[in-house]
Amino acid sequence: MVEFIDVTLTPYVDSQKCRGTGKCRARLAWSVRSGANNRLEVIPAPALNRHLRRKG
């Protein structure tokens, strides 16, 4: 599992399918950028349950 930090979503028009014949199949597309990411530790459910019982 990964956590993304400083995420930026930028919309743009993808007009590659426009051929100049009158029909244009342009679409809205998104550019996704992240400044950084962190790898998160995944704890299997049985181990998480044991961990939570010890704390409670």
DSSP per residue over 1-56, as a string?
Answer: -EEEEEEEEEEEEE-TT--SSS----EEEEEEEEEEEEEPPP--HHHHHHHHHHH-
> Could you tell me the residue ranges of all domains in the chain?
2-55
1-56 tens-digit pLDDT: 778 888 999 999 888 777 777 778 788 999 999 888 888 777 677 776 777 777 65
Interatomic CA distance for residues 7 and 39, integer angstroms: 15
- Which residues share a beta bridge with 5? 36
Q: pTM of the full predicted structure?
A: 0.47
The predicted pLDDT at position 21 comes to: 73
Interatomic CA distance for residues 28 and 14, integer angstroms: 6
